Copies of this chain bind each other. A is one copy, B any other.
């Protein structure tokens, strides 16, 4: 059983200090003591340890507040680099960040055929990672870890892709493959979970304790942040909302059921709408977005329809979770208010307790970087523990 002792106490307080420095840098020891409630001497001792671990740096003296000048502390951004990868359906987006989550290298490769064999795709991935590693700047700890966000069902503990229908993959032991090749810790998570943790650390969710990140792209998924942490459910399969039923006897879905949200509120639904009302195919999602923004009526209507349907799905989740905030990410929200206004209207209308609380519904702040940055945050969060507000 998980009993408590002094080791736990120190762990908790040390992480509180580190998180405080991360969030409020530059900050002095005295200020840390003030905002955390820890004793000055406790803060000094913990900061000393963080300094010897090189996670934190002294940055010289700050402005005097009418007495001795404070010593500014900051995160040591150069303690190590992190690789974050968004394994998309027809692209791989790879970024390298420093310890503060600042992107210092980025590369996107587009892939023609969506259904590469796992072998070919993983070879591409490994080449990309190798390229990043050799070009990485020298740091204290080198590459700390690799995070990968995958569009599919993932076993996070085992680093296993159980199923990625849009890639045509089943049962891929991705973690052990990458770890064995590079000897660096690897974390694999679902694309929506990664997006959620990305927004929590670096995006629109920084200040929210409980929020939902809705990834609306080829498919629909949700990442759930509860009490400042990703909620993975009992077997790590939470947030599979793409196949939430929103229409009892609705459009048949590839999953074998009917009326799934994905048939109404994803790229798939958008393409169907365009095909039906504009008789156009062969457009990419980005074409349609550009057209809608440029004023094309059918494209706008298509996004309004999809926004309305997504609003229904969002309302269902708000009713269940009562979050402070819902962040809409992935490709669809790139179109902006055309989608978001309808979505907000419908969600508010169908939110039962909207009289008694307000939910902010915001587009992603990281846009198409949410997943890759979240993948990096999976690694970073291991060092910080959870970012306590």
Contact = CB atoms under 8 A, between A and B. Distances in A.
A241 B319 contact: yes
B37 A1 contact: yes
A321 B248 contact: no
B319 A356 contact: no
Nearest to A244: B316
B320 A245 contact: no
A36 B2 CA distance: 8
A9 B12 contact: no
Nearest to A20: B1
Interface string A30-50: 000001111000000000000
A272 to B, nearest CB: 15
Tally of this chain's copies: 2
Contact of A8 (B4, B35, B231, B238): B4
Interface residues of A, number: 69
A37 B2 CA distance: 8
Contact of A319 (B2, B6, B232, B243): B243
Q: Please indicate which of the listed interface residues A6, A153, A237, A247 has the most CB atoms of chain B within 10 Å of its own CB.
A: A237
Interface stretch (A114-122, A293-301, A345-353): A345-353
Contacts of A264: 248
A320 B246 contact: no
Contacts of A320: 222, 224, 238-241, 244, 317, 320-321
Contacts of A231: 226
In the A-B complex, list the 4 residue pairs whose CB atoms are closest, starting with the nearest. Answer: A233-B322, A4-B12, A235-B357, A243-B352
